[in-house]
Amino acid sequence: MKTCVIGSINMDLVAVVDRFPQPGETIIGRDFATYPGGKGGNQAVALGRLGADVLMVGKVGNDSFGEQYLNNLRVNGVSNDGIKIHEGISTGIAVIEVDTAGENHIVVIPGANGKVDREFIEEKWNLIINRDIFLFQLEIPLDAVLYAVKNLKEAGKLIILDPAPARELPDEIYKCIDYITPNETEIAVLTGTEIDEDGDLEKAGRKLVEKGVKHVVIKAGKRGAYLATRDDFIHVPGFGVQSVDTTAAGDSFNAGLAFALARGDDILESIRFANAVGAISTTAKGAQSAMPSLMEVESFINQQTVNE
């Protein structure tokens, strides 16, 4: 099956810090680097590394970051025929702080990502409609996401939505979604509920199922993920790794999920595979640096024990 990511492309400007600064405080950082990122581009590159047939649809600016990014997609096996260079605006940027525990703070400046609209989706429609499985996130304008999702669902395509960054969504989108993959913070925003105690995740997951989503896959970091459907609520344990940088762990998870579903794995096997891709991706600095090949994921799964 052919996959397609419609979403954001950013260059990540990453500062490594011992700890995050307090408001008004200046601290001295440890290290700085620039990496290709963006939730959309990360998911496409993770799919490309796994060996999927993947098309990226999105926009970059007419600048050196945009040029670098097009090359980055190419070397990672991602078709960039769906990319447009938008004149007069910069490529998207993410300013990221990563601490010594591998946790991060991220500020995104959308740039060209903010110019992805209905017209652009229509312009690329002939390429888009040839694909089978679609991955969306929320770093391009919601109107474009909604427009593409509705039309693709009408055409019978499989839709995966990563609702990140978190925001409330219109009810009409939910019935078009086959798989939604929030983390615990995101599902709290989507459902307007607090996630404090055992049972809250299940309640929140069921709320999204009632709104029309077929599968709610809640990403829970080291604990793995939870699947909520009309009939079940199932925990799929995660894998233990030494994390260096958790940036894009969620993106890698989504790519792993799409890859496994595309090759015909059942949903629980697909989530287990996604947990492995997400875990491996945290073992080096930068969003895309540690995204694994299929062979790496398979040997990792065979060697690892799971976290409960």
81 flagged as catalytic: no
42 in contact with ligand RIB (CB under 6 A): yes
The pairing of strands 10-16 and 31-37 is: antiparallel
Of residues 5, 7, 37, 277, which one binds ligand RIB by CB under 6 A? 37
Per-residue interface string for the shown chain with ligand RIB, residues 187-226, x marking contact by CB under 6 A:
----------------------------------------
Which of residues 38 and 61 has its CB atom nearest to ligand RIB in the complex? 38
Which of residues 179 and 253 has its CB atom nearest to ligand RIB in the complex? 253
Of residues 45, 287, 290, 297, which one binds ligand RIB by CB under 6 A? 287
Which of residues 251 and 273 has its CB atom nearest to ligand RIB in the complex? 251
106 in contact with ligand RIB (CB under 6 A): yes
How many residues of this chain interact with ligand RIB, rule: CB under 6 A?
Answer: 16
C-alpha distances (whole Å) from 49 to each of 33, 35, 169, 170, 194 are: 22, 16, 31, 33, 36
Instruction: Give residues with Cβ within 8 angstroms of 284, minimum separation 6.
Output: 244, 245, 290
Per-residue interface string for the shown chain with ligand RIB, residues 230-259, x marking contact by CB under 6 A:
-----------------xx-xx--------
Contact 126, 120 (CB under 8 A): no
12, 198, 251, 266: which one is catalytic? Answer: 251
Contact 40, 141 (CB under 8 A): no
Can you tell me the distance from the alpha carbon of 149 to that of 155, in angstroms, rounded to the nearest whole number?
A: 10
Minimal distance in Å, beta carbon 29 to ligand RIB?
18
DSSP three-state, residue 44: helix
Minimal distance in Å, beta carbon 34 to ligand RIB?
11
94 in contact with ligand RIB (CB under 6 A): yes
Instruction: Give residues with Cβ within 8 angstroms of 26, minimum separation 6.
Output: none
47, containing H or E segment: helix 39-50
Can you tell me the distance from the alpha carbon of 71 to that of 64, in angstroms, rounded to the nearest whole number?
A: 11
Can you tell me the distance from the alpha carbon of 282 to that of 21, in angstroms, rounded to the nearest whole number?
A: 23
Residue numbers 163-192 binding ligand RIB by CB under 6 A: none
Minimal distance in Å, beta carbon 234 to ligand RIB?
25
Minimal distance in Å, beta carbon 96 to ligand RIB?
6
The amino acid sitting at 196 is D
Residues annotated as part of the active site: 251
